[in-house]
Copies of this chain bind each other. A is one copy, B any other.
Amino acid sequence: MAVNRRANGSNGSSDRQASAAQKQQVENEILLKIPRSEFNAIFTKLEAHAFPARTILLEPEKPIENCYFLNRGVASIIHVMSDGRSVEVGLTGKEGFVGLPALVDYESSPVRAVIQIDASGYKIGLKQFKAVLLSCPVLAKLLSQYSQDLAVQSIQIAACNRLHSVDRQLARWLLMSQDRVGESTFCLTQEFISHMLGTRRASVSVAASVLQKRGLITYTRGQVSINDRQGLEKASCECYRAITGQLEAWRKA
């Protein structure tokens, strides 16, 4: 029965003990909120996995084959145009879930989901996921809520893309990333960021220089460090605060 957890290669994890102890490793906040009774039902179906940067979890137009709960790291939800240009429409990490359309029996993804910062977490096949959902109403509810959370992101980003300058957007984006990665230094090339922001790499370079000259960040060869988080929040547009503010308002109610 269900020995379908894999101690996964890339940077092997351990943990081989009972179910209570398993839960201690779990960092995904949705999984952590699930009551014990449901938790065991789902956890046995999850496959632990490492996801190195650039791993693609979902591809637009393609059927959703697996869904994902991250414990660490960051994934970007990206919309891809027919000419290949792309824009990030959401960020997700240990607070979230990847594969939302499956929640309502929509079987293909409208977006690409790609690992932005080395991640680890759990993978679950579509069929198992749908089966689990039927017996886990709390999970279903939490995922529905997360779906709204993610919608707030894309809504805010839609407005931000229209009204705000690249400098401010970059600041917002770094803040959102840091919230999810946890650490204040992480690896990202300007090329990559330009795909997220839907701009030229050159624009990212200029914007990054501005932030660097103000001492808010240091940027060297694909490595960003955030030195002054408060200052960065000031340099950012209101969108960063707007998103976190809305989510807080919902959470506390």
Contact = CB atoms under 8 A, between A and B. Distances in A.
Interface of A: 61, 79, 81-82, 85-87, 89-90, 100-101, 103-108, 110-111, 141, 144-145, 147-148, 150-152, 154-159, 161-163, 198-199, 238, 242, 246, 249-250, 253
Given A101-B148, A103-B144, A148-B101, A87 B162 contact: yes
A155 B154 contact: yes
A154 B147 contact: no
Is the contact region of chain A dominated by helix, strand, or loop, or is it mixed? helix
B159 A89 contact: yes
Contact of A144 (B104, B161, B249): B104
B159 A81 contact: yes
How many copies of this protein are present in the complex? Answer: 2
Nearest to A80: B159
A156 B79 CA distance: 7
A101 B198 contact: no
Contact of A106 (B107, B148, B161): B148
Determine which residue in A82, A90, A103, A156 has the highest number of CB atoms from chain B within 10 A of its CB, and name it: A156
B159 A87 contact: yes
Contact of A163 (B87, B111, B154): B87
A77 to B, nearest CB: 8
Given A82-B238, A85-B163, A148-B147, A253 B158 contact: no
Nearest to A156: B79
A145 B106 contact: yes
A137 to B, nearest CB: 11
A150 B148 contact: no
Contacts of A104: 141, 144-145, 147-148
Determine which residue in A85, A141, A147, A199 has the highest number of CB atoms from chain B within 10 A of its CB, and name it: A147
